[in-house]
A and B are shown apart, each in its own frame.
Chain A
Amino acid sequence: MLVAFLAVFVFVLAVWPLGRLFAEALGTGESGRSFGLISEAMASRAFGRAFWNTLETSAASVAVSVLLGLPLALAISLIRIGNRVALTFLVLSPLLIPSQIMALAWIELMGSSSPILGLLGLAPAPGAMNPLYSRGGIVWLMGIEHMPLVFLAVRASLTSLPEDLVEAARIGGAGTFRIVAGVLLPLTAPAMVAGASLAFAASVGNFGVPALLGIPGRYPMLTTLIYQRLNGFGPAVIGQVAVLALVLVAMAGVALGLRGIVLSRSVPIDRSGRPLVPFDAGRFRRPIVVVLWNVVTLLAVVPLLALVGAALSPAVGVRLAPDTLTLDGFRSTLIGSATVRRAFANSILLSAGAAVAAAGIAVGLAYLGTVRRLKLARWTAWFAELPFIVPGTVLALAYILVFLPPLPVIGVSIYGSATILLLAYISRFLALAIGPVQTALASLDPNLDEMGRILGAGTFRRIVKLIVPLAAPAAAAGAILVFMTAFNELTVSALLWSSGVETIGVMVFSLQYEGNSTSAAALSVASIGFVLVLALLVDRLGSRLPAGTLPWRS
Chain B
Amino acid sequence: MANIRFDDVSKRYPGKIAVDRVSFEVPNGTFFALLGPSGCGKTTILRLIAGLERPDAGEIAIGKKPVAGHGRFVGPEHRGLGMVFQSYALWPHMTVAANVDFGLAGRGLSRAERRNRVREALDLVGLSAEGARRPHQLSGGQRQRVALARSLAVRPGIILLDEPLANLDAHLRQTMLAEFGRIHAQARTTFVFVTHDQNEAMALADQVAVMDHGRLQQLAPPEELFSRPASPMVARFVGQGRLLAADVVASAGRTTRIRLDDTEFQVEGAAPIGPGWLCLRARDVELAGDGAAGERLNGRVVASRFEGGDHRLTVEVGAAGATGLVDVLSPQRGRIGEAVRLALRGGWVLAREAT
Contact = CB atoms under 8 A, between A and B. Distances in A.
A56 interface: no
Contact of A454 (B83, B87, B92, B93): B83
Interface string B49-91: 0111000000000000000000000011111111101010101
Nearest to A472: B93
Given A454-B77, A461-B106, 13 more contacts: A447-B87, A448-B91, A451-B91, A452-B102, A453-B77, A454-B81, A455-B103, A456-B80, A456-B107, A457-B77, A457-B102, A457-B103, A458-B77
A469 B91 CA distance: 10
A458 B93 CA distance: 19
B2 interface: no
A323 interface: no
B85 A451 contact: yes
A198 B91 CA distance: 39
- Which 10 pairs show the lowest CB-CB distances between chains A and B? A455-B103, A447-B89, A453-B76, A447-B85, A451-B89, A469-B93, A454-B83, A454-B76, A448-B89, A456-B77
B12 to A, nearest CB: 16
B89 A455 contact: no
A553 interface: no
Contact of A455 (B87, B92, B150): B150
Interface string B94-111: 000000001101110000
Interface in A446-505: 447-448, 450-458, 461, 465-466, 469-470
A450 B82 CA distance: 11
Contacts of B267: none
A298 to B, nearest CB: 46
Nearest to B153: A455
Interface of B: 50-52, 75-83, 85, 87, 89, 91-93, 102-103, 105-107, 150-151, 154
A457 B105 contact: yes
Contacts of A451: 83, 85, 89, 91, 150
A514 interface: no
A447 B151 CA distance: 14
Given A450-B76, A470-B93, A455 B85 contact: no
27 contacts: A445-B87, A445-B89, A448-B89, A450-B50, A450-B76, A451-B83, A451-B85, A451-B89, A453-B51, A453-B52, A453-B76, A453-B77, A454-B51, A454-B76, A454-B79, A454-B81, A454-B82, A455-B151, A456-B78, A456-B106, A456-B107, A457-B105, A458-B77, A461-B106, A469-B93, A470-B91, A470-B92
Interface string A429-457: 00000000000000001011011111111
A455 B154 contact: yes
A445 B85 CA distance: 11
A447 B78 CA distance: 17
Nearest to A448: B89
B81 to A, nearest CB: 6
B154 A456 contact: yes
B53 to A, nearest CB: 10
B117 to A, nearest CB: 13
Contacts of A453: 51-52, 75-77
A456 B82 CA distance: 10
